[in-house]
Chain A
């Protein structure tokens, strides 16, 4: 089929045309706030209008000064969540993908359970169960692990269950590769894009998580999104916009990376 034919076919199909129209509208509605956010964050005096009293980067600077400790805390927290998720999630995904044991379905359900429970409920349950752990920030860490783990497992398990991978591991075995060698030289390289996507996904989720964190934070352990919320309530709208823009700087590149790694394959279970 030549390109001309294809174009002709597309425009001739009313269902397709309507679908494309709606898609366009949806994209515009979703993306419009972003440039607006940047305009507000760089306007000296937003209540007077677009770039009233000139363009400034002061709000961005003030915003960054205000949230810097929280951004750094969130990064540290995300790194810890990542490490714990991997330590638990990788073996769990392996078990689910490779072994048909009694209670396998129960394990899958248990791991996925937090997806069906509101974050607030998870947070309250944790507070009720471990009241003493809250002050140290341990509960915040635990809450985020519980919330992000299903995404990691759901991304890794299908990758580990691929028959092609299992067969390659078997070939490696006949070639003399030990269990550790198979893992390092066959399994990880084969699932590397799923693994990387899972890591970025967990990192992004942890950076942006609000529901659980809002209930579990303490003055000393406050995440970036929680601070973002306080900023909206207490600061000028320009500062809040600037902080939001900074927040997006952390999250958007990761989201783009996930998409490039084959976003459609991620999170399927």
Chain B
């Protein structure tokens, strides 16, 4: 399948009601064959973006290009865009095979073409043995595969997946996520994948767009977003970081709190800056004269170690990993782990 197309959002806005836009001036360029993940809290407009690509909604402003062609005037039935809603929306009066064949039948493909293509799709999605089952008898993971096979059967230029893993048991999600990624890579189709789960986004994406309140906060590879968050929201939502104000001590060194200093990959020395602090950045140490003070307020067992949330005196709430349990409410000395370079927010190069 090599008809993957690029998808370009040009200053797209959308409002369900006048004056209440849910998507605001979105610019995004997804490359052919790329898996782009749209991630953000619920209500940020990510599902609306998918509906705009499918043509189920028409932008109130801006243009949508697929493969360089303006889609504004093209109805959903003529866009060749596969859409898999969160519910999968399988046709429950049809069996698996007829669900997958649906699009080809509607497009009046030849009988032989339908038979061959449906066979390929069942194979690709590894549901051949379920072909004659009613879809009402399938598990969540199987339903998801039928929905994707149905969407891919018409050789869409773009595949839209809306929270494809949300309806599955949490225990199965990680395994099915890996399968899904392999399937998407094998099909080679350009994919827009919506999720609210940053871990899922990191796992499947070539590039991630972080959305907040209808705007794109940052678009880049998972590594870029992790290493150079554009702002505090991206650092918190995508990186799971605590955001702290820091002050310059000397070129290349900042202070987070009294007694807590660490290196940054910058040499400028004026003004304040924001640090995205991860749980691996700090460590609780045995008595140390030059250390900050940390008061644990919650502790979670995390297998290899404990995840401890608490207050860094003079800075704010954050999380550190520690290999032993701690007493809540007691003061512990804390410092930046030797060798760690702190992540500065807002230092990324603008994406194009």
Contact call B103/A176, Cβ cutoff below 8 A: yes
What distance in Å separates the Cβ of B135 from its nearest Cβ neighbour in chain A?
A: 11
Q: Chain B 82-100 against A: per-residue CB contact (8 Å), 1 yes, 0 no?
A: 1111010111111000000
Q: Which of A121-180 contact B (CB under 8 A)?
A: 164, 167-168, 170-178
Question: Is A185's CB within 8 Å of the partner chain B?
Answer: yes
Chain A residues with Cβ below 8 Å from B81 are 174
Contact call B83/A189, Cβ cutoff below 8 A: no
Question: Is B21's CB within 8 Å of the partner chain A?
Answer: no
Chain B residues with Cβ below 8 Å from A192 are 93
Question: Is A181's CB within 8 Å of the partner chain B?
Answer: yes
Contact call A181/B106, Cβ cutoff below 8 A: yes
Given A174-B56, A181-B106, the answer on whether A167 and B79 have CB atoms closer than 8 Å is no
Question: Is A186's CB within 8 Å of the partner chain B?
Answer: yes
State the CA gap A159–B90 with chains docked (Å).
17
Question: Is B54's CB within 8 Å of the partner chain A?
Answer: yes
Contact call B150/A175, Cβ cutoff below 8 A: yes
State the CA gap A106–B85 with chains docked (Å).
34
Question: Is B77's CB within 8 Å of the partner chain A?
Answer: yes
B107 nearest in chain A by CB position: A176
State the CA gap A248–B274 with chains docked (Å).
82
What distance in Å separates the Cβ of A190 from its nearest Cβ neighbour in chain B?
A: 6
Select one of B76, B90, B91, B92 contacting A174, CB under 8 A.
B76
Given A181-B106, A185-B106, the answer on whether A174 and B93 have CB atoms closer than 8 Å is no
Given A173-B56, A175-B150, the answer on whether A168 and B89 have CB atoms closer than 8 Å is yes
What distance in Å separates the Cβ of A44 from its nearest Cβ neighbour in chain B?
A: 53
Chain A residues with Cβ below 8 Å from B84 are 171
Residue total for A at the interface (Cβ-Cβ under 8 A): 18
Chain B residues with Cβ below 8 Å from A181 are 106
Chain B residues with Cβ below 8 Å from A189 are 91, 93-94
Residue total for B at the interface (Cβ-Cβ under 8 A): 28
State the CA gap A174–B151 with chains docked (Å).
9
Question: At the interface, is chain A mostly helix, strand, loop or mixed?
Answer: helix
Contact call A175/B102, Cβ cutoff below 8 A: yes
State the CA gap A173–B91 with chains docked (Å).
13
What distance in Å separates the Cβ of A265 from its nearest Cβ neighbour in chain B?
A: 16
Chain B residues with Cβ below 8 Å from A172 are 91, 102, 106
Q: Which of B40-98 contact A (CB under 8 A)?
A: 54-56, 75-85, 87, 89-94
What distance in Å separates the Cβ of A193 from its nearest Cβ neighbour in chain B?
A: 10
B102 nearest in chain A by CB position: A175
Select one of B85, B90, B91, B151 contacting A170, CB under 8 A.
B85
Given A174-B56, A176-B154, the answer on whether A190 and B89 have CB atoms closer than 8 Å is no
Chain B residues with Cβ below 8 Å from A170 are 54, 56, 76, 83, 85, 89
What distance in Å separates the Cβ of B332 from its nearest Cβ neighbour in chain A?
A: 50
State the CA gap A192–B92 with chains docked (Å).
12
Chain A residues with Cβ below 8 Å from B107 are 176
B108 nearest in chain A by CB position: A176
Chain A residues with Cβ below 8 Å from B75 are 173
Given A176-B106, A178-B106, the answer on whether A186 and B54 have CB atoms closer than 8 Å is no
A163 nearest in chain B by CB position: B87
Contact call B103/A175, Cβ cutoff below 8 A: yes
What distance in Å separates the Cβ of A163 from its nearest Cβ neighbour in chain B?
A: 8
Contact call A190/B56, Cβ cutoff below 8 A: no
Q: Which of A170-227 contact B (CB under 8 A)?
A: 170-178, 181, 185-186, 189-190, 192
Contact call A167/B87, Cβ cutoff below 8 A: yes
State the CA gap A176–B102 with chains docked (Å).
9
State the CA gap A175–B91 with chains docked (Å).
12
A190 nearest in chain B by CB position: B93
Contact call B85/A176, Cβ cutoff below 8 A: no
Given A167-B85, A171-B85, A173-B76, the answer on whether A190 and B92 have CB atoms closer than 8 Å is yes
Q: Which of B274-305 contact A (CB under 8 A)?
A: none
What distance in Å separates the Cβ of B98 from its nearest Cβ neighbour in chain A?
A: 10
25 A-B interface contacts by CB (under 8 A): A167-B85, A167-B87, A167-B89, A170-B54, A170-B83, A171-B83, A171-B84, A173-B76, A174-B56, A174-B76, A174-B77, A174-B81, A174-B82, A175-B106, A175-B150, A176-B78, A176-B80, A176-B107, A177-B103, A177-B106, A178-B106, A185-B102, A189-B93, A190-B92, A190-B93
Binding site for A on B (CB under 8 A): 54-56, 75-85, 87, 89-94, 102-103, 106-107, 150-151, 154
With A170-B56, A171-B89 already in contact, 10 other A-B pairs whose C-beta atoms are closer than 8 Å: A164-B87, A170-B54, A170-B85, A171-B84, A174-B56, A175-B106, A176-B78, A176-B106, A190-B91, A192-B93
Shortest 3 CB-CB distances between A and B: which pairs?
A175-B103, A189-B93, A177-B106
